[in-house]
Structure formats: structure tokens, C-alpha cells
Structure 1
Amino acid sequence: MAIEVIEVMTSEESSALAEEFLVPTRDGKKLASDVYLPPNANNKKFSAIFIRTPYDKSSRYTALKYEAEYYMNRGYAFVAQDVRGKFKSTGETEPYAHDVNDAYDTVEWITKQPWSNGRVGVTGVSYYGFTTWAAVASGHPAIKAAVPQATGIDMGARHVASRWSQDIPSLSSVNDLIQIWTDNKSYLASIDWTADTPHKVVESAADVIGKNIAAGKMIQERIHLQGWYNPYGDRHPYHTTNIPILHWQNWYDPGLAPAGMRDWRHFRNLSTRNLHYLRANSADHSTFLLENVGDLSKVSYLNEEARKKRISDECGEVADFFDEFVNGSKPSIHRERARWHLGHVGWQASKEYPPQSRPLKLALSSTKNDAGYVMSTNEDHSTMPSLLTWIHDPNNPVPSTFDIEALWYLLAAYPDEREMAQREDVLTFCTEPLVDHLDFCGQPTLQMELEFSSPSTHLFAKLQDVFPDGTTRPISWGRVVIDQKMGPEVLLNMDDNAYRLRAGHRLQLQIQCSDFPIFAVHPGSEKNPWTATKREKSEHGLRVGGSHVAFLTLPVISLDNL
């Protein structure tokens, strides 16, 4: 069986500190909303912090009832809502489709409450980071500022749609879609993506869990039409945002941080650029920190003290932003445009992100050392032209180095990837051990010439830190669909990070054509990877040396120049 349900999650009890309301929408649905008011709230008016989630407003998982206590003590009303069709809210269970209107209607309801002063700040993580953007897009005048966290404006384009000829299909996103968006409950399920073609696995979920509106539309329509999915109508945030935004991302969130950082770059190129601020941490999607790797007592979902610390630190930053931009309170400390964490060092600030850097070019070569092919600043390794070849076998794809669920708590799982260098379908390039520390911040880029026998192909690149004992940890990822019509030259911008490669460590780059089951496997033909039943091997070659110099470029920084 492709799908096995392990656990069913239903709504937990609301906090005794909350009063639950059923907020009406314009089309007659009822949105369950917990309202928390500060102590001694009688006859007083407050700004509201508003969150809309599909993960149960009252659950320990979201921890919103604990965050509410913090915000109440900071003088805010706090409103936590189950989105339409989830847990206690009525309506059909379908992500994205109604969030702009439902946000507007609820903010309108908030402003009419006797405790409201008419000012609202919106925030949330992951999907409820998307609902934060949906609230911004709604254009309600009471919304004065927003903190979308660990999300992307266009996350729906991969979650409920697929432009598979331009973007590698994300099975991790569909995995989430099946478990979260089938009905008003949530399911923890084991999904075997090797059991059949991806679209058949999705179809079989309906027999085990139930009909899923969004998954049905994806399989029946969207994977064939490949249109861009836009849930905002004519109010896409890229051209309607006019309030202060704190873009909140985590480097070790390859599922959503790339989209969020793309949003940041877009807004910093507009005339309204100074409305936007950045906060990026060395953390994964679940907020587990790089500095806590190996210590699971620091997982906030498992440990009460860890949860209290996370709430104090993170909710404190959100409240500070809303104090300034919702309530108009002048901050005691100047707010930097960008705050970002340099892994193994600490928090940094800069007037712009990415900060000023110098490009360090590392040439890829056919020369070998004890770790793989040599990667170095010395182009002499690459003077002789060579074609480094490998075979992509879709029936034996390169496996993901962590469980599909662990994508969302990557640093808690933090895989040791040393064994991947032994695979013949993975090209591995490695520097010699570093003599000095090396700091970089921004997007590593990969420039190369690639040959392949199939009409198109998937290309994955991974940057890694190789410890002196051989432990190999991921730092940055890149992925792209390449078509023969594009020609052999490839320029791949990898995911953002800010990281110190420490003396004695090596920098490693791996190139491959699959990462399964996090991503769907390319069939080796022009066929749709969602539906292709026939899979063919394809030959790949990377040119190095001579006039075909392949480079990895790192944006190296000096902390003295920030």
C-alpha cells in the first residue's frame, strides 16, 4: 500500500485565557477564532496581532496559545484563527483559494470589536506565513505591518500546482498537501513514493484518507496545463504591498527559504524598498538552530524550557517590530535594514543584504585528491580539457539524505552525507583543508557547461562542509530544469546562506540529477515526470579545463567591512 495513516490529529482544547468566536465571512462561512486580551482589559483598546493557521489554532504544535500569553503581556490583543475548512472553521478544505477575502473579513470584524483601536499587525510561519501575505494583499487599511516567517509569496505555485517543464516537482510539498489539506483534520501518514508514478500515488490517497480538492485539481488539471498559480487575483503582493514588512527566513529551510529570499530581492528593487527589513537565521523551518545541533533537548516542540526561550526570543522580535510600525513607538535601538546570522559566528547587521563581498572563484577540475575531484583557486588543475561523465538512472535515483518529513526540521535531523561521494552518479569536488577561516554570505553560484542525452534533465547541486573527521554537512542547495534548447552553458544560483568554513575543514560540491523522494525523478525523456510510466537512462557530462572552465563562486565577506 502506498499510503498508511499513522495518526489523526483533531482540534485540541482552546486556552482558558481565550474566548472563541465564529467570525462570519462574506459568503456565510464561520471562521473559528480565539481572542486573547491583555490583563485588566476592561474598557481599554488595543492593537491586535492576527494569525490564521491550518494547523489548529489551539494545538501544542503551533504553540499559539503560549505565544498569546507573551503578546498579551506586551499589551496586544491576540487573535488566532483556524483557516476555512480546517479544524473548527466551516467551509470546504482547500488551501489558498479564499485566504485573501477571509483575511479582509476577519480584520474588518476585529476593528469593530469594543477592545480594538483599529490597528492590526499580521504574522505567521509557513502556510500561515502565506496567510500573512494574503492579509497584506487584501489591502485592509487597518493592517499596518506584517512579519511573514519561513514562507514565500508564491508558495502555492509548488504546493498545489506544477510547472514541471520549468521547476522540478516537489514531492515533499505534495506529501504535505495530502496530510494537511484533505479535510478539517490533519494526518500523519507514511507515503511510499516508489509504489507508483507520483500522480497515481496522489490518486490512491483519496482511497485511504479521502477526497482532496487541491490534490485532485493538481493531478487532473494543473500538472498538464502548467499555468502559474496565483491565489491573489489582481492583488499580488509584488505590486500592492505598501506597509512595513519584516522578511523572516531561515537558511536551513530549502523548502521555502529560496522563495522568501526571492521576495526580499524583488522588494529591494522597488521604489518602496525602505519599507522592507530582513531577519535571517542559521535555523531550519522548525526554528531549530545550527548552534544546537546534536542537542534535541533544544527542540521547542519537545521541551517546555526550549519553547519558552523560543517564544521570548522570536515573539519578542515580532512585538518589537509591531511596537514600532503598528503602534508608532520609537525604538530604543536603531533598527538595522538587515540582520542575519553567520553560522558558527553569530548575528551580524548590514545596511543591505547581501552585504558587500568579493567573489572567490573555485575551479572544478578532473584532477583527483583523496576526497574526489579537486576544487581550488588554482586553475592549473583545469588546463587539460576533460568531460566528467555519469549516468542518470531514474529507476535507481540518487536518494535524499534525509526522510521526506525531515525537510522541515533539517538541522534536528542534520544528515551526515559522506556516503554520497561513493556513488558513481554523483560528481564530487572538494578543496584541500582550509588554512584559515572562510566567511561567505549570499548565494554561491555555479557556472559550467553540461551535456546530456535526454531532451531535458534535472540538475541538483549541493554545497557541503567536510569536517576533519569526514563528517559531511549540507550548507546550500541548488536545483534547476535544463532543456536542450537552452544550450550547454548553465549558471545556477544556489540558496542563500551566511556561513563560516572553519580552518581544517574542506568545502565540497556535489552535482547529481536526482534527489528522491524530496523531488520527483526525471524520466529521462520528454514525458511528464508526474505521469511517465517509462523511464530511460540518460548520459550526462560536465566539461572542465581548457576553454570550458567550470567555477563555483563564493561571495566571501570580511566582518571588518560590515
Structure 2
Amino acid sequence: MGFTIIEKISAEEPSERSIEYAVPTRDGFQLATDVYLPEKATAHSAVLVRTPYDKRSFYTGLKFEAEYFTSRGFVFIAQDVRGKYGSTGQTIPYAFDVADAYDTAEWVVKQPWSNGKIGVMGASYYGFTTWAAVASGHPAIQAAIPMVTGVDMGNGHVGGRWRQEVQSFASLNDLLQIWTTNEGYLADIDWSSGSVEEIIAEAREQIGRCVGAEEKLARTKTEDWYSPYGNRHPYHTTQIPVLHWQNWYDPGLAPDGMRDWRHFSSLPGWSNLHYLRVGSADHGGYKLEDVGRGDEANPYLNEAALDAKIQEETAEHADFFDEHLNGRLPLKPRPRAKWHVGHVGWQESDQYPPDATITQFVLSADPSGLHTLGSQAAAPEDLSWTHDPANPVPSSVDMEALWYFVAAYPDERDYVDRADVLTFRTAPLAKNLDFAGQPVLTATVDFEGPTTHVHVRLQDVAPDGTTRRITQGRVALARAIGGSFRLPLDDNAYRVRAGHSLQLQIASSDYPHYAVHPGTGDNLYDIEATAKTVQTLRLGGVSARLEMPTIDLA
């Protein structure tokens, strides 16, 4: 079977401190909304969170965050989005969130405990609902903290641009598990067991129709871009302070979030409204510094870890809202950018990325098969690998662990033994190599088919051989545009310590995190036939090179 239910995720019990309301929408539905009030009976600024993951769940931790916010004098409002848990309406992602956020804000400002000012925040999908609230343009919404998300999350989730973009299968996993009914499911989904359409049909037989998954499949036929904002896209309508909150080890959404930061921080006259905070953690908040502590440090599995996370992060959230809703300036001026360097610590700067020096590493062939990443120009040579859709390069963690990558933190040393993975490695470094920003791979790949995928991993190899991911990137190539590319990898700030080696790996698959290229030019969502293909990397001089934005840290 391709779709196997593991667990149904039902609503949890409410907090004794909350009052539930049914907030009306303009088209006649009700949004289940928990309101937490401070002890002092007066008008307050409100913090609004709109989530599809059950507003009362331990997973979201909102009922715990509420305790902190109310202690700081905020009204805290947690709402189930339309069609999820206590809220009525059809269960479809993205489509209604801009309008529903506006209607909720309109309801909030009419309450006796509201002073007319609202801050919006949330992580992942409810980071998107934060952007949807900003896009709604309601005048009461005056500050926002979108976390581990991206403005155009919806396009990656339900868009269909498989020819231009390497497609994530994580989106289909989410759609079937989260967006089928008003409750949620944890399921084991084997995408290799049949076509995407067959697996969606199998899920439909067991738990019901998933409109989002069906719409995504339909969009792949026409390769449509998807935007839920209409003429209110946040890139062109945002005029309030925003704290962009990301984590480096979130390959699913941090790239989109960092693209958002680059857009807003480049706007003349408006960039001073935007702030950045990026940690060395994964999507779930597990920190690089906690590797080795196991479940004890996982905020989704351990109450003490969740409490510590809330105390640290919610304090920053409340400080931001205090400044921009209540006019309470911090004792120390807020830095424009606060970012963590792995194995070093937090840094502050007036811009991100900071000024850097480009350190170049050239890709060279070595007869041993473990190729060289060095400073010398390469001799002209071609290196080839065969992509077999029936035997793709596996992801180093399973689908769910994509979101908890640092909690899993896999040792990726075994990839060096695969014939369909090219590996380039430096000699052990004589001194620390610190970088911040996007490493860039420039290369030319010839390929047999009309299109192909190139997946790149950048890794840290310890003296004992332990190999840990630093960052990654991917690109879809087409014969019509040629095989030469300049690929910025996903952002990170990291120290490769002295004695360690920097390693680069190139392949054509990363399954099941990403859909497998069929080796043909056909739609990878509905293909029936596949073909092995040979990809060839051209070397010579500095034509294939990795550029690292290195910084000077004491």
C-alpha cells in the first residue's frame, strides 16, 4: 500500500484560561477562536495566531505561549483556520486566509478588551497566515513575525511548476495528512508504490477527498504558478514592521524566507521596517548546539525543552510587539540582523549577509574517485554519473525528519561510496573557515535527456569521517537553456573547524524529499515510463568552482 494511516490527530482539551468564540466570516462560516486575557481589565494590544494544527495542541504550544504573552499585558488569540478542527468551512489550504484574517481583525477591534492594535505571528503554515494577515491590509494589524515560512509558501505547496523547479514531495505529504479533513493524520506514504494520482486516490478511499492535493495535481498539467494573495501580494503591499524569523537547517522553507528578507531589505525607503533573526536550528527548533542530547532537547517531545524554547523565543516576540504596538523602546536598540554562526554563537549586524570575502575552491578530478576541492586550476576532464530513476539517491532522513533535520542530524559519510554521486573534498583545513551567506556553485553539466535535475550538498567532514550537512541546493536544467548554471546554495552561517574538511557532493536525486526525475521530458507527476541517463560535469581551469562568502570572526 502507498498510503497507510498511523494515527489520527484529534483536537486536544482547551486551556482553563481561554474563552472560545465563533468569529464570523463574511461568507457565513465560523472560526473557532480562543482568547486569553491579561489579569488587568483594560484595553490591550492583541497578538493573533491562526493555525491549521489545532490551536490547543502541544505541537503548536500556543496555550503555553499565551501564558507568557498575557503576563506581558497582551491579549493572546489562537484561531483554527477555516476547515480545521473547531472552525467550519471547506478544508482547502491558502484560499481563504487573506479574507479570514481581515474578518478576524475586524472582530478583534470591536471587543471591549482591544485597544485597536494587533500583532500577527506564527510558524510554518501559520507563518503563511501571518503573511496573509499582513496582505489583508487591515489597519489594526501593525506588526508581524512570520517564522520558518515564506511569502510564496503556497506556490511550493500547491503550485505545479515542475519543469522550472525541482519539486518537493514533502508538500504532497503535508496536503494528504493535514488538508484532507478538519482533523489531521500521521501516515506512512510510499511515493514509489504507484503514480501520484494513484496514491492520492488511495488516500481518498481511506480518509476522504483532499482538494489541495487534487488541485496541485491539476496545476502540474499546465505548470501554473499559485498565489493566494490576488492583488495584495506582500512584496508590494507590506508597510508595517516585520521580524523575519528563520532557522538555517530548514531546507523546506528557510530558502523562501531568506529570499523574502533579501527582497524587503533591498527596498529603498522601506527596508528600515524589516528585521532578521536566524538561528542554527531546524524547522522544529532543535538547535545545533543541542546535538547529542536526543529527545531531552526536542521541544515537540519534551515539556521542559518546550518551556525553555517558549521562555527564550516568546520573550523576543513580546519585545518586538511591545516596541511596535505599544511604543516601548528596548533598552538596547534592536539590531537590523541577528544571526547565529554554527559552532560559534550569535552575531549582530546592520545588514545580512554581512560583508564577506569570496574564497574560491576549484573542483578537480582525482583517480581515486574522491575528487579534490582545492585552490589550483583543474586539468580539463569530464566526470560522469548515471541517474537511475528506479534507484535514486536516497535522502539522508525520512520525509517527516526533513522538518527535524538537526534532531536527526544524519551522518552522510556513506554517499561517497555511490557511483551516482560525485564527491569533492578539501584537505583538512589548517585554520577555521567561517562563512555567512550563500555558497555558490558555478558549473556546466551535459545531459542525455531533454531535462535533468542537479542536487548539491555541502558538508563538514570531521577527522573521524563523520559527515554532517551544512547546506544544499538544487536546480532543474533543460536542454533549451543549456547546462551551464550558477547555483546559490541555501543560506547558512557556519564555522568549518580547523582539522575538518569541506565537502561538496553532486547527484541527480534526493528521494523522497524531492520528486525523482524520470530521465525523460515528461511530467514527473504522471509518467509511466522512465529512463536511465548519463550526466557529465565538465572540469578545467576554474570553470567548475565553489565560492564561499567567508567572514572574519575572532
TM-score band (shorter)? over 0.9
Partner of residue 225, structure 1: 222
Is 1:45 matched up with 2:39? Answer: no
Q: Deviations over 1:392-438 (max 9, x none)?
A: 11111111110010001000011110001100000000000011111
Counterpart AA for 1:458? H
Q: Deviations over 1:221-271 (max 9, x none)?
A: 211111110100100000000000000000000000000000111111212
Runs of 4 or more, structure 1, over 6 Å off, are none
Quick one: structure 1 residues 509 and 76, their matched pair in 2 at CA, closer, same or farther if it must change by over 3 Å? same
User: How high is the sequence identity, in percent, across the aligned residues?
Assistant: 55
Q: What is the RMSD computed on CA atoms of the aligned residues?
A: 1.0
Q: Deviations over 1:346-385 (max 9, x none)?
A: 000111100000000000001256x810101222xx1x21
Match among 118, 121, 124 for residue 120 of structure 1: 118
Partner of residue 305, structure 2: 306
State the distance in 1 between where 2:374 and 2:199 align. 44
State the distance in 1 between where 2:478 and 2:58 align. 46
Counterpart AA for 1:425? D
Q: Deviations over 1:481-537 (max 9, x none)?
A: 000111231110100000000011000000000001111111111100001110001
Match among 522, 531, 555 for residue 549 of structure 2: 555
Partner of residue 26, structure 2: 26
Q: Deviations over 1:154-186 (max 9, x none)?
A: 011111122000011111111011000001010
**Retained in 1: the 8 A contact 2:477–2:483?**
no
State the distance in 1 between where 2:310 and 2:328 align. 22
Structure 1 residue 326: Cα displacement: 1.1
Structure 2 residue runs of 5 or longer lacking an equivalent are none
**Retained in 2: the 8 A contact 1:46–1:77?**
yes
Match among 84, 87, 92 for residue 86 of structure 1: 84
Counterpart AA for 2:373? M
Q: Deviations over 1:81-130 (max 9, x none)?
A: 00000000000000000000000000110100000000000000000000
State the distance in 1 between where 2:301 and 2:45 align. 31
Match among 161, 164, 167 for residue 162 of structure 2: 164
Q: Deviations over 1:134-161 (max 9, x none)?
A: 0000000001100000000001111112
State the distance in 1 between where 2:409 and 2:191 align. 22
Partner of residue 484, structure 2: 489
Structure 1 residue 552: Cα displacement: 0.5
Partner of residue 142, structure 2: 144
Is 1:63 matched up with 2:58? Answer: no
TM-score w.r.t. length of structure 1: 0.97
Partner of residue 472, structure 1: 467
Structure 1 residue runs of 5 or longer lacking an equivalent are none
SS in 2 for 1:486: coil
Note the 1:403-552 alignment, pairs <5 A. Answer: 403-546=398-541, 549-552=543-546
Note the 1:57-456 alignment, pairs <5 A. Answer: 57-219=55-217, 221-271=218-268, 272-296=270-294, 297-368=296-367, 372-379=370-377, 382=378, 384-456=379-451
Equivalenced residue count is 552
State the distance in 2 between where 1:328 and 1:140 align. 20
Counterpart AA for 2:212? A
Counterpart AA for 1:266? H
Quick one: structure 1 residues 550 and 504, their matched pair in 2 at CA, closer, same or farther if it must change by over 3 Å? same
**Retained in 2: the 8 A contact 1:404–1:518?**
yes
State the distance in 1 between where 2:58 and 2:444 align. 49
Structure 1 residue 295: Cα displacement: 0.8
Structure 1 residue 288: Cα displacement: 0.5
State the distance in 2 between where 1:492 and 1:302 align. 36
**Retained in 2: the 8 A contact 1:368–1:374?**
no
State the distance in 2 between where 1:450 and 1:168 align. 16
Counterpart AA for 1:512? A
Counterpart AA for 1:374? T
**Retained in 2: the 8 A contact 1:198–1:520?**
no
State the distance in 2 between where 1:25 and 1:400 align. 42
**Retained in 1: the 8 A contact 2:170–2:514?**
yes
State the distance in 2 between where 1:457 and 1:202 align. 26
State the distance in 2 between where 1:555 and 1:197 align. 42
Mean Cα deviation higher: 301-310 or 495-504 = 301-310
Counterpart AA for 1:76? F
Structure 1 residue 203: Cα displacement: 2.7
**Retained in 2: the 8 A contact 1:203–1:216?**
no
**Retained in 1: the 8 A contact 2:299–2:306?**
yes
State the distance in 2 between where 1:31 and 1:92 align. 12
State the distance in 2 between where 1:202 and 1:284 align. 29
Counterpart AA for 1:337? R
**Retained in 2: the 8 A contact 1:247–1:276?**
yes
State the distance in 1 between where 2:73 and 2:181 align. 36
